């Protein structure tokens, strides 16, 4: 069973997303355990403070290392003796998250703790002492880490055997092994003609070998157009 723990000031975001799609399927199948810890339960004072003004001045507030460390310590109490789990923090300065990273964590038999940043950032001392990997989901800045970490968790869980409805659903998607890491070919469904546009004849032919060839060719063509770097 995969264990995913989120440290956040907005646990309701995590709890809401658990009720749908891949995360729900993984928990329902007994393949994952997903928990959200409210950082304010580990606040520094009775006012629920988990952040403070940055030393040296500047705008915004910085999440406190001691509050985050206390939350992480409490979470680790639920792990098997000696296991610390992998701690992931999302930020614009992190390594770009890829399918390869999702595959690596899907194969990992160890709990994963996601640190959902908020405010103006996280005290660097916590990052240096507790974070195992820092990832970005793109050259953008968001208000918090809940959305990026949920995206990462879903990309991991959909690769766990038994989570998706069909065993090839994950491997035959873009970047998957079934497509040799290329982009997925175009898809079509009913009606056979729409707005004067027809479904390619080969897909209606029933010739599975021809369909396989067409899909491979279209996958290469699409990758050359949109992501030529994947062909290098």
Domain range summary for the chain, segments of one domain joined by +:
2-157, 177-231
The token duo for 160 is 């766990």
Spatial separation of the C-alpha atoms in residues 180 and 217, rounded to whole Å? 13
Q: What is the pLDDT of residue 177?
A: 82
**pLDDT of 167:** 64
37, 201, 202, 205, 219 from 196: Cα distances, Å: 53, 14, 18, 20, 24
CATH of domain 2-157: 3.40.1280.10
Taking every pair of C-alpha atoms in the chain, what is the biggest distance, in angstroms? Answer: 70
Homologous superfamily of 177-231 in CATH? Answer: tRNA(m1g37)methyltransferase, domain 2 (1.10.1270.20)
Q: What is the mean pLDDT of each run of 10 residues along the chain (232 residues)?
A: 96 98 97 98 94 95 98 95 94 96 95 96 98 97 97 97 79 82 95 98 97 96 96 84
The whole-angstrom separation of Cα 150 and Cα 166 is 22
**In terms of pTM, does the model score above 0.85?**
yes
> Which pLDDT score, from 0 to 100, does residue 53 have?
96
Cβ-proximal residues to 204 (8 Å cutoff; 6+ apart), any chain: 192
């Amino acid at each position: 069973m995969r264990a995913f723990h989120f440290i956040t000031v907005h646990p309701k975001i995590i709890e809401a997303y658990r009720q749908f799609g891949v995360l729900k399927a993984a928990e329902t199948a007994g393949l994952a355990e997903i928990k959200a810890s409210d950082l304010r339960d580990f606040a520094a004072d009775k006012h629920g403070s988990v952040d403070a003004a940055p030393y040296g001045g500047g705008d915004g507030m910085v999440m406190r290392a001691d509050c985050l460390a206390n939350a992480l310590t409490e979470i680790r109490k639920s792990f098997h003796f000696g296991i610390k789990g992998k701690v992931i923090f999302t930020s614009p300065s992190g390594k770009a998250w890829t399918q390869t990273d999702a595959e690596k964590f899907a194969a990992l038999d160890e709990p994963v703790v996601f640190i959902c940043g908020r405010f103006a950032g996280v005290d660097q001392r916590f990052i240096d002492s507790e974070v195992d990997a820092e990832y970005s989901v793109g050259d953008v800045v968001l208000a918090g880490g809940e959305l990026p970490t949920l995206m990462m968790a879903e990309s991991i869980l959909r690769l766990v055997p038994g989570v998706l409805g069909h065993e090839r659903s994950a491997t035959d998607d873009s970047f998957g092994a079934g497509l040799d890491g290329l982009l997925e070919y175009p898809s079509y469904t009913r009606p056979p003609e729409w707005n004067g546009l027809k479904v390619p004849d080969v897909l209606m032919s029933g010739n599975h070998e021809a369909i396989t060839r067409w899909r491979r060719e279209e996958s290469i063509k699409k990758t050359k157009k949109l992501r030529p770097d994947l062909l290098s």
